[in-house]
Amino acid sequence: MDPTILANEQVAVDDVRQILCAHLAQTLRGGVLSVKVRVFDSPCEALFYAHSDNVWHIQDIAFRDAARVRALADELTRLAAKPHGDLVQVRQHATPHWRETELQFANEAIKRHSGGSLESYIRGILFGDHHDSKQDVRRRMRTPR
Q: Return averaged pLDDT per consecutive 10 residues of the chain, 145 residues in all.
A: 48 86 92 94 93 93 90 92 83 93 88 81 80 47 56
CA distance linking residue 32 with residue 52, whole number of Å: 6
pLDDT confidence of residue 134: 47
In this structure, what DSSP letter does residue 133 have?
A: G
Contact 122, 114 (CB under 8 A): no
| Residue 65, Cβ density class (10 Å: 0-12 exposed, 13-18 middle, ≥19 buried) | middle
Can you give the C-alpha Rg of the chain in angstroms? 16
Class of domain 3-129: alpha beta
At 33 the pLDDT is: 93
- Specify the pLDDT at position 115: 72
Q: Which pTM was predicted?
A: 0.77
- pLDDT of the residue at 117: 82
Cα–Cα distances in angstroms (integers) from residue 22 to residues 6, 37, 109, 122, 133, in the given order: 24, 14, 17, 9, 19
CA gap 57, 122 in Å, rounded? 21
Q: What is the pLDDT of residue 142?
A: 54
Nearest by Cα to 35 from 44, 45, 18, 23: 23
Per-residue model confidence (pLDDT) at position 55: 95
At residue 104, the pLDDT reads 93
